[in-house]
Homo-oligomer: A and B are copies of this chain.
Amino acid sequence: MTKEYSIGQMSRRTGVKVTTIRYYESRGLIPSPGRTQGGQRRYDEAALERLAFLRHARELGFNLDDIAELMALAETPSEDCAPAYEIARKQLAAVDRRMTILAQLREELARMANADDPGHAGKCRVIEVLGDHRLCIGSHDLSDSRADLSGS
């Protein structure tokens, strides 16, 4: 009789929220587990490992499609590690791009936020800078220039 976990236990052990675990199941990232007579999910050790893998990959910013691929690779012993490396390198490149952009944004924000002269004649420097679009950083292609800071 192998050890079983409820969804709450899975959540507490991996740090992935219950609603998120259900979401991952709906996305096919984790298999639907067996159920109790009453309909409650019961997971095994393998499912726990899989969820932990998923969580770790999410932490590193891999998107769910790439994670699905990595998981498939993990379950298919193969001599070819190229696909996994491709995915990891792609993510590394994206992190590098993001870091470059954030550094630029930081400069402008620092200028704006740390101005000694907060403003004059009813016009704040923050507002002035934002109103002066010669100070815009990017081209009109904004897809990578926004300092999106959301965690999810």
Contact = CB atoms under 8 A, between A and B. Distances in A.
Task: Say whether chain A's binding surface is mostly helix, strand, loop, or mixed.
Answer: helix
A110 interface: yes
Contacts of A106: 92, 95-96, 99
Nearest to A110: B92
Contacts of A84: 119, 124, 126-127
A81 to B, nearest CB: 4
A130 B73 CA distance: 12
A73 B57 CA distance: 42
A151 interface: yes
Interface in A31-66: 49, 52-53, 55-61
Interface of A: 14-15, 49, 52-53, 55-61, 70, 73-74, 77-79, 81, 84-85, 87-89, 91-92, 94-99, 102-103, 105-106, 108-110, 112-113, 118-119, 122-127, 130-133, 135-152
